[in-house]
Amino acid sequence: MPRLLGDDFLVPSLTPHNKPYFTAGSIQIQFCKDCGHAQHPPDDLCYACQGKNLEFRAMVGSGRVESAVVVHHSVHPALKTKVPYAVAVISVDGAPGCNVMGNVVGCAPEAVKIGDRVRAFFDEVKSPQNGETLKIPNWERAAS
């Protein structure tokens, strides 16, 4: 489906840290192969054991809304016709301690509640950086 805020709205500039999350077509979380710690956002070192043996793993793509707010004031020219919209903090099933950010789409923004179960989907857009295909995760409510 088209991105909530427009296909040409800000896309991630890709780095080794965020490329898996925004291109894999699954919710990618960084894990430590030595101690099993999950962390987000990804970094160069395991925050639990300081190991460097890190890998990305695909999660099942479900989660829970930990907080959600309705944005009314547009702070970017491209958003003037997009407000109001909901932004949420979502805990990722299978990744203890890890929350990601996103929109919850497919319902009125004020309908999104703390505790809602959500499921990821992926918007495919071409990066203006190098034409690479991005698969930007976003969220919709799931049956609980």
Contacts to other proteins from residues 6-35, by CB under 8 A: 8-13, 15, 17-18, 21-22
* Nearest alpha-carbon partner for 112 in 92, 72, 137, 140: 140
Which helix (H) or strand (E) segment holds residue 125: the answer is: strand 117-126
Q: Judged by CB under 8 A, does residue 68 bind other proteins?
A: yes
Contacts to other proteins from residues 82-101, by CB under 8 A: 82, 85, 87-89, 91, 97-101
The burial class, CB within 10 Å (0-12 / 13-18 / 19+), for 120 is buried
Q: Rounded to the nearest whole angstrom, what is the least distance from the CB of residue 88 to other proteins in the complex? A: 8
Stretch binding other proteins (CB under 8 A), from 27-35, 38-46, 50-58:
38-46
Chain residues that interact with other proteins, rule: CB under 8 A = 3-5, 8-13, 15, 17-18, 21-22, 39-41, 66-73, 75-76, 79, 82, 85, 87-89, 91, 97-103, 110, 114, 128-129, 136, 138
